[in-house]
Amino acid sequence: MRRTTSESKLSQIKLSLYKRGPNRYATRNHVLVLASTFCCNRAVQKICERFRELRFGSNSENRVIPLVHTGGCCDVGFDEALVEGALIRMAANPNFGGVLLVHLGCGEFCSTCGAQGAPQKNGRLIQALRKSGHVDEVVIQGRGFSSAVDQGIDKVDRFVTRLKDMERELVEFKIGIFAGVMNGSSDMTSPVANAAVGSFIDELVLDYGRAACGQVVEMLGAESEILSRAIDDRVKWEARRILTAHAEQRAAAEHEGVETEPTSGNKDGGISTLSEKSLGTVKKIGSSGKIVEVIPFGKKASTRDGLHIINTSGQDVLSLSGLCAAGCNLILFTTGRGAPTGAPGVPTIKVTANQATHKNLEDIVDLYIPLEQVIRDGRTLSDVALEIIGGYCAQVANGTELTCAEKNEQYDFQVMKFLPTA
């Protein structure tokens, strides 16, 4: 049983969330329409186009969300397992109250169709998700593209009918929120925005509560800080293993004359080395929470309280996808120069400490951390962060506020791959 007392100020805040099971809550109640292979992407889009203007839920915060990608056919070796795991875990994210799988019929993860064109529910995706009770499917090779789209529209409509009257339940902030954190390192992001998010994460995981981060390659140069936060020797060994693997991959790339970190945008923002970037990156997970788990990309995180490290690259969309697959129901994304990026179905809150960025890009950046309050008014960054970030997270989680990425229908998803496609 998870603890329900804490010194954290966040433990005094109640949220209204959708309950999915023991210690599992959702900030949204979307319907997800997922392509089991890239051949089905257009069918997914056609189904979702019918529901483009549909909003449901007590605050009209829920929608029908498409998930398209470039996998599901001709992936080889462990790449196939990576794609399969990521799709399964995305479909299992608590923010989806219903999932429609759109199959071609012959892909690696597809169900086949019977003599009358009916789905056989024998594909690897639906077999893995069948116990959830909120999954259905259509097969294009059954009766054709148009028929599959029509069937998909009908099945999504049934999902919406069932979900639209589902009520939220009150739950403590620290129990209900599993926050993912990620960053873009430039300008004032590292010293201020990441530190502000880190202060919020410290409060979230104080005594109990969960948070996750990825972008392991951006921890290189700050390995000692990461390893010192491991809760035990097993977690420390896992953290050292993935850090070493990323360091070796980076060394191999540099040997071939390839340099990806820091990026050109990082350099324009004043970052000159990977170590500088990494020291800013680790600020976003705070300074006191313990790392309790290190998990591969595409795997689900446990309900264990503390910090969870997701093994993703530094690329924004890959990091977002890994956090969503791990089960995060809310994501904080710090940015210095601005980015429109957003996850399918999981509210992605963009945070900056660059006032000009927020002013010029207010349609893609949600929050500004007012450093002037710290300098001029003598407030602590922790207090400012808790007020600004905590308050906005509560509004978003409750569904009374939509993030910029949600308003812009920015649904970015990608799966890490390592091998050539067959």
pLDDT at 220: 86
Q: Are strands 14-21 and 169-172 parallel, antiparallel or unpaired?
A: antiparallel
- 266: exposed, middle or buried (Cβ count in 10 Å: 0-12, 13-18, 19+): buried
User: Per residue in 160-176, pLDDT tens?
Assistant: 999 999 999 999 999 99
User: Per residue in 291-304, pLDDT tens?
Assistant: 999 999 999 999 99
pLDDT at 130: 87
pLDDT at 273: 55
Give the SS3 label for residue 33: strand
User: Per residue in 313-330, pLDDT tens?
Assistant: 888 999 999 999 999 999
Alpha helices in 172-232 (DSSP H): 173-176, 194-205, 223-228
DSSP 59-93: TS-B-EEEE--S-SSS--THHHHHHHHHHHHHHT-
286: left (phi over 0), alpha (psi -120 to 50) or beta: left
Distance CA 288, CA 286 (A): 6
- Joined tokens for residue 158: 């049934």
Q: Are strands 24-26 and 14-21 parallel, antiparallel or unpaired?
A: antiparallel
Any idea of the CA torsion for 317, 321, 327, 329, to the nearest 10 degrees?
A: 40
Distances (CA, A) of 23 to 59, 175, 209: 23, 7, 10
Distance CA 220, CA 335 (A): 20
| Identity of the residue numbered 24 | R
* Nearest by Cα to 18 from 156, 162, 176: 176
- Joined tokens for residue 132: 């959830």
Distances (CA, A) of 364 to 197, 220, 271, 405: 18, 29, 23, 6
| Region 15-163: CATH code | 3.40.50
User: Per residue in 219-273, pLDDT tens?
Assistant: 888 899 999 999 999 999 999 999 999 888 777 766 555 555 555 555 555 555 5
Contact 352, 369 (CB under 8 A): yes
DSSP 171: E
pLDDT at 272: 54
- Phi, psi angle pair for 88, to nearest 5°: -60, -45
Instruction: Name, in order, each residue with C-beta under 8 angstroms of 227's C-beta and a sequence gap of 6 or more.
Output: 236, 239, 240, 243
- Joined tokens for residue 153: 């529209």
Give the residue ranges of the chain where pLDDT is below 50.
Answer: 1
DSSP 107-148: STT---B-TTS-B-S-SHHHHHHGGGS-EEEEEHHHH-HHHH
Q: How do the domains of the chain map onto residue ranges? A: 15-163, 174-407
